[in-house]
Amino acid sequence: MSLNLKLSGLLFIFSLVIKFAALIYTDGFEREPLEDSLSYHNHAKAIYYGQGFGDNGGKQYEELVESSTRPPALPYILAGLYEAFEPKPWIGRIFNIIVGSLATFVVFLLCFEICQNSKIALFPSIIFLLYPPANYFSVHLLTETLASFFCITATYFFLISLKQNRLSAYVLFGIFSGLLVLTRSQFLLLLPFLFFAVFSLNYFLDTKNHMSLKSVFFSFLAFILILTPWTIRNYSIHDSFMPTTSRLGYMIYLSNHDLEDPEILRGGYSRNAFLNGNYINSFKESEKSAVYMSEVVKEVSDNPLKIIRPMIMRTINNLSYRPNPYKKDYSYSDLIMFFIWIPILLMFFLSLRHSRKEDNWIFFAIIFYNLAVCLPFWGTPRLRFPVDALFIVCASMPYIYSKSLRAKKSG
């Protein structure tokens, strides 16, 4: 058995053990889901009962109004698991634990592609294995774990695509990018953004990223095919083109409807009467997003300079070590994450000098893409989490390259 297989297998097993311990510690086999977790559970139960996609409180005999307010990947996966086993939240939590452990495995593969040394690749993989948010989200019915896995896997196949120019890798990149979009709408433009970046680097900087139009075409085709069933379903329900969800305008409105609101100035969000007023409820679900957006455009147009402070605060809060940067009181979780996240963030900035080595720009590009597309929304580490593994990989680059250089000299 190769060393790579042994180490990756051990990482996967240790990750399972840690996450199962967290599940038991948090009463994960009995604990009822709350808030967002409850919504995903209820959506999955509605699919399981054959009612459609929506949230009617998980009640089998209550009428369901079809909606598209939640991304579909997690609810449909949960519904399949509920059909195979039973419609209990702990089933979904075990699935998340397995996915989170697979994410650790892919982090190892990604690091190995950078340094071609199993022992060196182990270091960032262990950091992600022990990373508290990764273990926390894996025991909750939330999209964070699934989004992280799809993001890391899509990144891995994109790296392989550019290094080896393999058509199969391009197709897999398209598939996992599509699955990522169906898990987190913020990644809708990631695939075209990365291809645009490659063509730009090849043209302006004369880099040697080998990529054929045929490969790009099949990658886009795979991406579109993954999104097509959900898009067709949305069109049949709402009579509107909707490849993701119907919440974009709503989410942007929460953070931009009043640029003098204290919470919005802090980089957060606030609710007002307009959100559930008679006027907005007179529109169909597919039309509400445009109405919200028009209100935001008017507010920003009237106060163009006032958007600057909220944008700065959103960036700070997105990169915050605090799980909830808006809490007034500090907790032990904040203290723990201070000593974990701050070194990672500092090393990430130091590692920017390695961004032009080989294909390392990919990791930095995805991180900065995610930060940019999250700026219209309130700043929170939850929106950052899908790329946290890439932060860890980038932060480890000084260690990876120094160790690799020593290994070559000693060899």
Mean pLDDT by 10 residues, the chain (411 residues): 75 95 94 94 95 89 89 97 95 97 95 86 94 96 97 96 90 98 96 92 71 91 97 93 92 94 94 88 90 94 93 96 93 94 95 76 94 94 96 90 68 55
Q: Where are the domains of the chain?
A: 3-410
Q: Are 111 and 400 in contact (CB under 8 A)?
A: yes
- Residue 227 CB-half CA count within 13 A: 27
Which two structure tokens, joined as six digits, stand for 173?
A: 């990149």
Angle at which helices 308-318 and 361-374 cross, to 10°: 130
> Any idea what DSSP says for residue 396?
T
Measured CA to CA, the distance from residue 171 to residue 158 in angstroms comes to 9
pLDDT of residue 203: 74
Length of the chain: 411
For 26-72, where are the alpha helices, taking DSSP H only? 35-48
pLDDT of residue 1: 44
Measured CA to CA, the distance from residue 99 to residue 112 in angstroms comes to 20
147: left (phi over 0), alpha (psi -120 to 50) or beta: alpha
Contacts of 292 (CB under 8 A, 6+ apart): 249, 250, 252, 253, 280
Measured CA to CA, the distance from residue 353 to residue 374 in angstroms comes to 25
pLDDT of residue 3: 62
User: Quick check: helix, strand or coil at residue 105?
Assistant: helix
Measured CA to CA, the distance from residue 50 to residue 44 in angstroms comes to 10
Q: Are 125 and 111 in contact (CB under 8 A)?
A: yes
pLDDT of residue 407: 63
Query: Is residue 408 classed exposed, middle or buried when 0-12, 13-18 and 19+ CB atoms within 10 A define those classes?
Result: exposed
Residue with tokens 């990365």: 194
CA-wise closest residue to 151 among 130, 128, 168: 128
CA-wise closest residue to 341 among 322, 325, 327, 318: 322
Using only C-alpha atoms, the chain has a radius of gyration, in whole angstroms, of: 22
Query: Is residue 219 classed exposed, middle or buried when 0-12, 13-18 and 19+ CB atoms within 10 A define those classes?
Result: buried
pLDDT of residue 60: 83
Q: Are 240 and 286 in contact (CB under 8 A)?
A: yes
Measured CA to CA, the distance from residue 94 to residue 20 in angstroms comes to 8
* Residue type at position 394: C
> Any idea what DSSP says for residue 305?
G
Angle CA(113)–CA(373)–CA(287) in degrees, nearest 5? Answer: 135
Measured CA to CA, the distance from residue 274 to residue 257 in angstroms comes to 10
pLDDT of residue 207: 65
User: Quick check: helix, strand or coil at residue 68?
Assistant: coil
* Residue type at position 400: I
pLDDT of residue 410: 62
Measured CA to CA, the distance from residue 74 to residue 234 in angstroms comes to 17
Q: Are 176 and 148 in contact (CB under 8 A)?
A: no
pLDDT of residue 409: 63
pLDDT of residue 411: 55
